[in-house]
Chain A
Amino acid sequence: MRAVRSLFAALALGGLAAGSLVASGLGAPAQAQEEVPTPPHQQWSWQGPFGTFDLAAAQRGFQVYSEVCSNCHAMKELHYRDLAGIGLSPEQIQAVAAAVTVPQGVDDQGQPKEGPGTPGSQFRSPFPNEQAARAAENGALPPDLSLIVNAREGGPDYVFGILTGFAEPPKGFTMQGGMNYNVYFPGHQIAMPQPLHDGQVAFADGSPNNIGAEAHDVVTFLAWAANPELVQRKQIGWRVILFLVVMTGLTYAVKRKTWADVEH
């Protein structure tokens, strides 16, 4: 018993050493953080183990992207052929691609050549390079949107929050020149002016086009663009898990039978 007590004494000594380290840690000033609210959670069609993309919303979202976002933001990981994933027919894809002018290497004189896109073309980028983008955008670089929903903490809720979070800066908040106030952007000053407004995009199917509906549709499109494999992934996933559950049952039965003659 005495030995146990000496062990605890040793532990207590260690505790003292820890205490002194602790004190120096507490002395460090906590970094003052700019308060940015968490964007509220929205209902998204693709979430949950059975969720799939609302294809009509994704198609409307593609229209929003084409008419609004694509003026500044590239989506270079996508090709027009990928649009089959949101339900466009080969003819529709052909038409969408042909309506866009894309770079096509060089001509016989070695000059850069452009021409109508094909389903195999990459999504057209609004700027040839980063310098051109910054020159046109007041020094800011519009991020590529191919993976934006995966690339931000909060995912679709965050992107939706940014699109709908523009507001007048509160009294006493100093804005830098050319910046815009956004409730959900870290630091609240975002270079992008408010991109979506009520009634900005007219949908052929007559769907509501207030700012919330537009943002919801374009986020659905962007979520598909970031995870085009999602629906197939979940379908295969259920089959794999079902198979493995059956295999677990079978192997467990075999194991029970094998061990039945052994005391263990």
Chain B
Amino acid sequence: MAGQMHNSEFSNPVIQWIDTRLPIFTMLQKEYAVFPTPKNFNYFWNFGALAMVTLGIMIVTGILLAMNYQPNTNLAFDSVQHIMRDVNYGWLIRYLHQNGASMFFIVTYIHMFRGLYYGSYKTPRELLWMLGVVILLLMMATAFMGYVLPWGQMSYWGATVITNLFSAFPIVGHPIVTWLWGGFSVDNPTLNRFFSLHYLLPFVLTGVIFLHVAALHVVGSNNPLGIDVKTPQDTVPFHPYYTAKDSVGICVFLIVYAAFVFFMPNVLGDPNNFIPANPLQTPADIVPEWYFLPYYAILRSIPNKLAGVCLMFSSILVLFVLPWLDTSKVRSARFRPLFRPFIFVWVAAVILLGVCGAHKPEGIWVVLSRVATLWYFLHFLVIMPVLGKLETPLPLPESISRAVLGAGHGGGGGPLPGGAPAKPMEKA
């Protein structure tokens, strides 16, 4: 093969010149233009693209913030205020980044729910799903370290509490914590290394996302029916069909994002983080950001610290083995009459855990967080393996195109053609 040029089909001479030597245009054409995609996606299938958009915004705003931020305990808090007050549009860059973290999590959580509901983690997409769990873990580490950087009270005490979790492990625990801190308390070395890692991890994340997408392009996308693509009639090329559909989703998502950034930029934050970090004064309540609240509730539901820490980590790790815990051959919850209510109960348990995490672990909140924690694990470890064996799934449609033409189950996405004629230009 040596010395042989790629046979490019592009007519533009510049593109052809490049493409014969480095076929990136052929690759883009194959993976993003003609890529055959099931034609029955609903709007849940937008959320992967939304997560990509958010990651892009986070990286761009983050690089701009780093140009003016000072990772030093004496300067960090004031440098953030300098960005907010003196840097041109610094407040916009900062609020985009701060609220972007929340948007990234909400979009990713919905993306994960999509996978859980439609069985996207099942064979042959196990590795794709597991890479997704790695992405979630990287996101959590990145978000946690990013929250420390403004060096407010909640930054400092959140960092202290979370890093101290590792001290629960016998023998190695305290040396690990000292190693993480770079000293004997959360201090300047901690802030420096968190800044360094907060800058690094998003690029690691980008790499894993590349693998996630690469794996997706090998096995192809799942779809709301959860059945395999059988004929070319089941698919449409990614462009223009899904580029058009993703564009709608991106615009709607940006409206929600903009509503937070411009009209309630601090509503998801904690007032305590407007107070500079003070190692001598503990806030009345140490609460993580909303996207960590369910895990925080799991952590605190157990009176034993080590058990709580193990349980909290297990709540994510259990997702790695989910493809083997689910014994059902049917992917989509649409055809699983028993699983379908259970997945909603599980979602309710996660939301309940989030509410519990926001309250002090007293009285009824202890009870509720224990029940919800129990249910969280029961769902994965008992219900999912057992249900697959017991359940009689509904009959699956023969193919995606057959299901669409039959109009029985519908696509679940946009309205079926034949409804009111569109007058799209009036929508604006």
Q: Which residues of B contact A229 (CB under 8 A)?
A: 84-85, 91
Task: Pick from A24, A153, A241: contact of B303, CB below 8 A.
Answer: A24
Contact check, B414 vs A248: say whether CB atoms are below 8 A apart: no
- A82 is an interface residue with CB less than 8 A from chain B: yes
Contact check, B85 vs A82: say whether CB atoms are below 8 A apart: yes
Report the nearest A residue to B301, measured CB to CB: A21
Contact check, B271 vs A241: say whether CB atoms are below 8 A apart: no
Report the nearest B residue to A158, measured CB to CB: B271
Contact check, B422 vs A244: say whether CB atoms are below 8 A apart: no
Task: Mark A235-264 against chain B: 1 for CB-CB distance below 8 A, else 0.
Answer: 011101100111111111111111110111
Task: Pick from B39, B262, B370: contact of A262, CB below 8 A.
Answer: B39
- A18 is an interface residue with CB less than 8 A from chain B: yes
Whether A233 contacts B91 in the complex (CB less than 8 A), given A241-B255, A241-B258, comes out as yes
Q: Which residues of A contact B413 (CB under 8 A)?
A: 264
Contact check, A263 vs B405: say whether CB atoms are below 8 A apart: yes
Nearest CB of A to B333, in Å: 17
- B334 is an interface residue with CB less than 8 A from chain A: no
Whether A7 contacts B370 in the complex (CB less than 8 A), given A251-B248, A258-B244, A264-B413, comes out as no
Q: Which residues of A contact B367 (CB under 8 A)?
A: 21-22, 25-26
Interface of A, secondary structure class, is helix
- A63 is an interface residue with CB less than 8 A from chain B: no
Q: Which residues of A contact B259 (CB under 8 A)?
A: 237, 241
- B274 is an interface residue with CB less than 8 A from chain A: yes
- B81 is an interface residue with CB less than 8 A from chain A: yes
Q: Which residues of B contact A76 (CB under 8 A)?
A: 78
Distance A26 CA – B367 CA, assembled complex (angstroms) = 7
Q: Which residues of A contact B389 (CB under 8 A)?
A: 3
Which stretch in A9-17, A65-73, A96-104, A177-185 binds the other chain? Answer: A9-17
Nearest CB of A to B376, in Å: 11
Task: Mark B242-261 against chain A: 1 for CB-CB distance below 8 A, else 0.
Answer: 00110110111011001101
Mark out the residues of chain A between 100 and 121 whose CB falls within 8 Å of any chain B CB in the assembled complex. Answer: none
Distance A17 CA – B40 CA, assembled complex (angstroms) = 43
Report the nearest A residue to B257, measured CB to CB: A244
Mark out the residues of chain B between 324 and 347 whose CB falls within 8 Å of any chain A CB in the assembled complex. Answer: 338
Distance A238 CA – B258 CA, assembled complex (angstroms) = 9
Name the interface size band of chain B: 35 or more
Contact check, B258 vs A150: say whether CB atoms are below 8 A apart: no
Q: Which residues of A contact B348 (CB under 8 A)?
A: none
Contact check, A250 vs B271: say whether CB atoms are below 8 A apart: no
Q: Which residues of B contact A256 (CB under 8 A)?
A: 422, 424
In the A-B complex, the 9 residue pairs with the smallest Cβ-Cβ separation, listed nearest first, are A237-B262, A253-B424, A249-B428, A25-B366, A151-B274, A249-B427, A248-B251, A3-B390, A229-B91
Chain A: residues with CB nearer than 8 A to chain B? Answer: 3-4, 7, 10-11, 14, 17-18, 21-22, 24-26, 28, 30-31, 49, 76-78, 82, 143, 146-147, 150-153, 155, 186, 226, 228-229, 233-234, 236-238, 240-241, 244-260, 262-264
Contacts A49-B263, A236-B92, A238-B262 known; 20 new A-B pairs at CB < 8 A: A7-B390, A14-B378, A18-B370, A18-B371, A22-B366, A25-B367, A26-B363, A28-B366, A31-B360, A147-B81, A147-B274, A155-B271, A228-B85, A240-B262, A254-B424, A258-B241, A259-B414, A263-B417, A264-B404, A264-B417
Chain B: residues with CB nearer than 8 A to chain A? Answer: 39-40, 78, 81, 84-85, 91-92, 95, 236, 240-241, 244-245, 247-248, 250-252, 254-255, 258-259, 261-263, 265-266, 271-272, 274-275, 284, 301, 303, 338, 360, 362-363, 366-367, 370-371, 374-375, 378, 382-383, 386-387, 389-390, 401, 404-405, 411, 413-414, 416-417, 422, 424-425, 427-428
